[in-house]
Amino acid sequence: MAEVLFEEIVRNEGEGEEWWIDSAGVSALDGEPATNNTRVVATERGLELSSHRSAQATRQVVEPFSLVLVMEERHRQMMRETYPELADRIYLLKEMGDGTGDVHDPIGTDIVNYRAMADEVNSIL
């Protein structure tokens, strides 16, 4: 969901042409649709996820990007250990604002947590 939230923000700012935005997960399986709760929260915000499919954060996916944002410290550690040559590109999402710490992944929880995560991501971006 962070991908479509970020895309919406840069599009609204008139900077969509200057950004290449994608998403991938450290534990994701390739080709899976967004979870039901993710789709519901996206729809509530006027965002479309029906064609979204998950991707695993492989070297081929990550390497082309000059900036890689992750939501949790454990994800950053995993990425930096797996791809040490890319470590200087990998940051926590909260570091793009004035914060530190995790944006917790709501996977497997109720929709309230998905809404809270979307609100938090919006406030950071």
CATH number of the domain at 61, please. 3.40.50.2300
The answer, yes or no, to whether residue 42 has pLDDT greater than 90, is yes
SS3 of the chain: helix, strand, coil, percent, to 5: 50, 10, 45
The verdict on residue 10 lying in a domain is yes
* Per-residue pLDDT at 2: 86
End-to-end CA distance of the chain: 13
Alpha-carbon gap, residue 42 to 65, rounded angstroms = 25
The verdict on residue 92 lying in a domain is yes
**Mean model confidence pLDDT for the chain:** 91
Give the pLDDT confidence of 56-106 residue by residue, as tens digits: 999 999 999 999 999 999 999 999 999 999 999 999 999 988 888 999 989
> Which range marks the domain in which residue 34 is found?
2-104
The verdict on residue 51 lying in a domain is yes
Tell me the whole-structure pTM to 2 decimals.
0.86
Polymer length of the chain: 125
The verdict on residue 78 lying in a domain is yes
Distances 118 to 77, 83, 124 between C-alpha atoms, Å:
23, 28, 10
* Per-residue pLDDT at 32: 93
Percent of the chain whose predicted confidence (pLDDT) is above 70: 99
42 within 8 A of 49, measured Cβ to Cβ: yes
The verdict on residue 16 lying in a domain is yes
The answer, yes or no, to whether residue 123 has pLDDT greater than 80, is yes
The verdict on residue 116 lying in a domain is no
The verdict on residue 75 lying in a domain is yes
The answer, yes or no, to whether residue 114 has pLDDT greater than 90, is yes
DSSP 8-state class, residue 21:
-
The verdict on residue 91 lying in a domain is yes
> How many separate domains does the chain show?
1
